[in-house]
Amino acid sequence: MTGTGDFARRLIHHREQLGLTREQVADRAEMSPGYVQYLEGHLAPPNAGTLTRLATALETTVQDLLGGGRDRPSGGGPAAADPVLEVLEPEECLRLVAPGGVGRVAFNGSHGPTVLPVNYRLHDGAIVFRTSYGGPMDQDLRTGLRDVEIKVGFEVDQVDEAQNEGWSVLIQGPAHHVPPDEAAEATVTPWAGGDRRLYIRIVPHQITGRRIHAR
């Protein structure tokens, strides 16, 4: 994506997120595949009509394609006219979180209830993320007692304002400090960077989830 603008990067991101080819996007948006390829390598966004067709084809909004709303929490759009709240089975919850990404770890920290975002991946049925040795999370997740572990909550969600739907998964279980010889098997890269060599593994003891969608 070298040389592309923000719009082109967002266009590529949404297409790949849906697993679509340029030809499929072009068919959905009623334009030529060559034009889609041109837009993915172009610096400036097209006219309003083309933007609307692309947003519809990519199941998103024009505002999102243009990068609007980046500094606001998701889910600010209107709710569906007749929403349905569906309880998810544990198997479906794990399927939803399996691709990895950003989740939130909740625990009782030294300064009270704490929730922190982390990059994670699902490895051998457990949630794995990285933090710093000796850092606040490392200290807060150690009991100092052998075989006594701290139970934490781990939450992942997704909100699709364009479709008026979304889901949320909550995983609860003990947090283990992963030994160095096991850490290499569970590769995960934190966005925050830095010297984050301590791997934490959350073993699911309880998995719950909800999905909201229009009737």
Instruction: Please compute the mean of the pLDDT values over residues 156-173 and round it to a whole number.
Output: 87
3-state secondary structure of 26: helix
Distance CA(141)–CA(136), nearest Å, equals 9
Q: Is the pLDDT assigned to residue 4 strictly greater than 70?
A: no
Q: pLDDT tens across 115-159, in order? A: 999 999 998 899 999 998 888 888 899 887 777 789 999 999 988
The predicted structure's pLDDT at residue 1: 37
Give the least confident one: 29-38, 97-106, 169-178, 187-196.
Answer: 187-196
Query: What tokens does 101 get?
Result: 């990404």
CA angle 44, 16, 163 (to 5 degrees): 85
φ, ψ for residue 83 (rounded to 5)?
A: -70, 150
Most confident of 9-18, 70-79, 84-93, 157-166: 84-93
Half-sphere exposure of 195 (CA within 13 A, CB side): 3
Q: Which domains does the chain have, with CATH numbers?
A: 6-65 (1.10.260.40), 83-214 (2.30.110.10)
pLDDT tier for residue 63 given thresholds of 50, 70 and 90:
confident
Which helix (DSSP H) or strand (DSSP E) does residue 151 occupy? strand 151-160
- For residues 60-72, give the mean pLDDT: 75
Give the separation between CA 44 and CA 54, rounded to whole angstroms.
14
What is the pLDDT confidence band of residue 5, given thresholds at 50, 70 and 90?
Answer: low
* pTM (predicted TM-score): 0.71
96: left (phi over 0), alpha (psi -120 to 50) or beta: alpha
Mean pLDDT over 103-109 rounds to 94
- The pLDDT of residue 32 is above 80: yes
Q: Is the pLDDT of residue 78 over 50?
A: yes
Q: What is the mean pLDDT of the chain?
A: 86
